[in-house]
Amino acid sequence: MRKNSRLQKLLYGIMAVLGAYIMYKSGALLAARHQMKKALENGSVQQSVEDSAMRTWSLGYSAVLEGKTASSWFAAWFQQVVPVLSYLTDDAGEETENGKDIVSEGVEESDDTVENALAKYEGETESEKDDYENGQESTNAADENESEPESINAADENESEPDSIDVAYENESETESRSAAYESETMDMPDERESNETLTEDEPAQETSVNSIFSQVLPQMSDFSYLLANYYTVDADTAADAELLNAETLLSIDLSIEQDASVPQILIYHTHSQEAFADSREGDVSDTVVGMGEILAEELRGYGYNVIHDTGVYDLVDGVLDRSAAYDYARESVDEILEEYPTIEVIIDLHRDGVEGSEEDFVTEIDGKTTSRIMFFNGLSRSANGETLSWLPNAYLEENLAFSLQLQVLSNAEYPGFARKIYLQAERYNLHLRARSLLIEAGTQLNTVEEEQNAMAVIANLLRQILS
């Protein structure tokens, strides 16, 4: 009887501990949700991050939903949720007199693991926290009320796009289009060389300026939890860790190219050519993302680069919008262009995002002009468990990530609020074709054509500084 009594007491003790643990976790979950909502109201974190954190917080639900093993779902939870909660609890409450987030200016070495990053981040001394009060404003404040972008994965796209390309444009020969663009570039070469000579004199100053900006932000970005919370939105279908997103490595990669207007150097194309804007005129190609691509091409030509603008249509099949194979069609065409012009070093796939929200969330003012905000997009070729997708190899993944991050950092410094957080998704999106491959979501369906046009000059200036 005594043995049974002891066993009962033991069981009751275990049940009491479990009950207390469940109550504690429930309270922590409610507190985290409250903290996240408060951060959302202050613009400190995106709704998409909140949704992801709330999903992965519930370990059992996540495991059942995604069929993960105990080790994998714990890793996913620890790597994605803890950095977000750590940043919110430690930094969200520290503000300047203007109500914007503060960043640290103390130089610290980056750790390769999430665990070390969190331990270092939570173990800051009071003197280090004082550095926050003297630091620069966090770039995270610019992302206030930002909505999660529409996935460009074909399976998730149900948006009905306007058929803004006329019949003549739909049947246009891709070869003729490329020839015309290349002939136009050849005619303008004397002016481009003259522009290139002018730029050469200013390049050392620009290079010093960019390096100075990188050096200034690197101490904060070396903290993985800070980097993840301020620079990236990670889609729930993929995973990113401190080894992949190593700011010191990504900012140190040299992405400059030698300007030579005598040969094609930059290619701009559009996987989704039918994307238009709030006040686009039906049938007018210049009012679509293709028209924006031509403006961007002209801006870059003005800086002395030889740019090919491919206006091929890849998402319209027999007059019907079909995005299911658009990336395959685009890749075949881009491969042909690269074979014809092997001197091309930079590839830009220019898109227009589809979002929920109001227009005011996706515009900013630059040089007195209302300008649409943009978003850099990376495909990681890895699953939510962090496993590499072997059928989508990308030998240039590190360079792709460096390209977008360097542009993001430069944009935050020179045009605060212009670039939304870099979006990371699982697939590849043809970014494997060149080291300097870039996918840009320029504006949304809520922006006007004029706002989009204003954004092209800003993008071109950012590219010029990184590539110089």
Q: What is the mean pLDDT of residues 212-238?
A: 96
Residue 125, pLDDT above cutoff 70:
no
Decide: pTM greater than 0.85: no
What pLDDT score was predicted for residue 455?
98
Examine the pLDDT at 178 and tell me if it is beyond 60.
Answer: no
Distance CA 151, CA 355 (A): 9
Which band of pLDDT confidence, cut at 50, 70 and 90, is reported for residue 317? Answer: confident
Q: Determine the pLDDT at residue 10.
A: 85
First to last CA, the chain: 84
Question: How confident is residue 111, by pLDDT bands cut at 50, 70 and 90?
Answer: very low
Which residues, including other chains, have CB under 8 Å from residue 312's CB and lie 6 or more apart? 174, 177, 269, 273, 330, 333
93-110 pLDDT, tens digit per residue, is 443 333 333 233 333 333
Query: What pLDDT does 153 receive?
Result: 44
Average pLDDT over residues 149-167: 39
Q: Region 59-88: what's the mean pLDDT?
A: 44
Convert the pLDDT of each residue in 379-413 to its tens digit: 999 999 999 999 999 999 999 999 999 999 999 99
Q: Which of 62-66, 414-418, 441-445 has the lowest mean pLDDT?
A: 62-66
Residues with Cβ < 8 Å from 263, sequence gap 6 or more?
Answer: 306, 341, 343
- pLDDT of 368 over the 80 cut: yes
Which of the residue ranges 10-19, 166-175, 217-226 has the most confident prediction, judged by mean pLDDT?
Answer: 217-226
Which of 172-186, 224-238, 246-260, 446-460 shows the lowest per-residue confidence on average (mean pLDDT)? Answer: 172-186
Q: What sign has the CA pseudo-torsion 154, 160, 162, 163? A: positive
Spell out the residues 6+ positions from residue 27 whose beta carbon is closer than 8 angstroms to its own: none
Return the DSSP state at 166.
-
Sorting pLDDT into bands at 50, 70 and 90, what band is 370?
Answer: very high
- SS3 label, residue 32: helix
pLDDT band at 8 (very low <50, low <70, confident <90, very high): confident
Nearest residue to 231 via CA among 130, 106, 367, 87: 87
Residue 371: predicted pLDDT = 98
pLDDT, residue 4, reads 63
- Whether the predicted pLDDT of 41 surpasses 80: no
Q: For residue 312, which of 295, 300, 296, 327 has the smallest C-alpha distance?
A: 327
Integer angstrom CA distances of residue 217 from 135, 243, 255: 10, 19, 19
146 torsion bin: left (phi>0), alpha (psi -120 to 50), beta (else): beta
Q: What is the pLDDT of residues 426-462, one digit of tens each?
A: 999 999 999 999 999 999 999 999 999 999 999 999 9
58-72, 289-303, 409-423: least confident range: 58-72
- Please, where are the H alpha helices in 42-125? 47-57, 59-66, 70-91, 114-122
The confidence band for 352, taking pLDDT boundaries of 50, 70 and 90, is very high
- Other CB atoms within a 10 A radius of the CB of residue 166 amount to 13
Half-sphere exposure of 43 (CA within 13 A, CB side): 18
Region 183-199 average pLDDT:
41
Neighbours of 17 (CB within 10 A): 10
For residue 176, is pLDDT > 70?
no
Does residue 144 register a pLDDT over 50? no
What is the pLDDT at residue 192?
38
Residue 35, pLDDT score: 61
Count CB-CB contacts under 10 A for residue 294.
17
User: Contact, 380 vs 397, CB < 8 A?
Assistant: yes
- Report the pLDDT averaged over residues 459-466: 98
